[in-house]
Amino acid sequence: MGMSEISTSSGQSQVCQGPRIAVVAALEREVAPLIRNWKARVAESSGRKYRLFENGNVTLVCGGIGSEAARRTTEAVIRETKPSRIVSVGFAGALDATLRVADVLEPRTVIDAQDGSRTDTGHGEGMLVSFASVAGRDQKERLRKAYAGAAAVDMEAAAVAHGAESRSVAFHAVKAVSDASSFDMPDMRQFVSSEGEFRTGKFALHVAIRPWLWRSTISLARNSRKASRALCAALEKLLVRMQEETPMKEVL
């Protein structure tokens, strides 16, 4: 454990002594407001290159969309940085109709919809479900009924949780709502590569020639920006809190 300087999004710095923390996101646009002043470097693991953003004892990596990308990225960042804590961050779709865009969740339970396994984060409250693909309105309703009390759905948290558990690393999750329960997300599968990369150009061309998608796409972009700002503000506070709440075993 070391003493390091943590820069906030406002550019201010503070000296913190705390554990090494790894943060796993899917896409840089989700966390852009937070990492704009962080140092960046490239690391390689199992033949793949990852761009790491570092700030004091914290390393953030954006590994791509989906559980497989999240699993690979989690394994890579654990090997590279040997963290004592790992945080899954990003966007989520609301299952709870009372949730609004930019609401932030710190779920106590993360459920893997593929096998029904559950991870207790030991923090926060409520349930987050990780599903294999982007959930549209009908799929959200099915998940809400299948997992009573679940607040939201994402794609990566359960994979990060499994990776952290396999390496005995403490796990946490922070998600911001990017689409309300009634919002019907378009089918994004054809725009996500096997590596978990979002093919922005292909998606833009697809939407450009389908005017009936313009309104929902504009709303999604606006909501994503709001969710990103809320996510980064919450994550910034969480990271400072984690640095201050160093477990005794990390001091010894």
CATH number at residue 21: 3.40.50.1580
Residue 252 lies in a domain: no
For the segment 199-211, what is each residue's pLDDT rounded down to a tens digit?
A: 677 777 877 888 8
In whole angstroms, how large is the CA radius of gyration of the chain? 18
First to last CA, the chain: 9
Compute the half-sphere exposure of residue 160: CA atoms within 13 Å on the CB side of its CA.
34
Residue 202 lies in a domain: yes
Residue 14: pLDDT band with limits 50, 70, 90: very low
CA-CA distance, 149 to 37, in Å (whole number)?
A: 38
CA-CA distance, 207 to 31, in Å (whole number)?
A: 25
Residue 187 lies in a domain: yes
Residue 205 lies in a domain: yes
Domain encompassing residue 85: 2-247
| pTM confidence score | 0.84
Contact 91, 32 (CB under 8 A): no
How many domains are there within the chain?
A: 1
Nearest to 67 by CA among 199, 185, 196: 196
Residue 76 lies in a domain: yes
Of all residues in the chain, what percent carry a pLDDT higher than 90? Answer: 65
| Residue in this structure with the two tokens 């207790």, named with its chain if needed | 120
Residues 6+ apart with CB under 8 A from 136: 184, 185, 186, 187
Residue type, 146: A
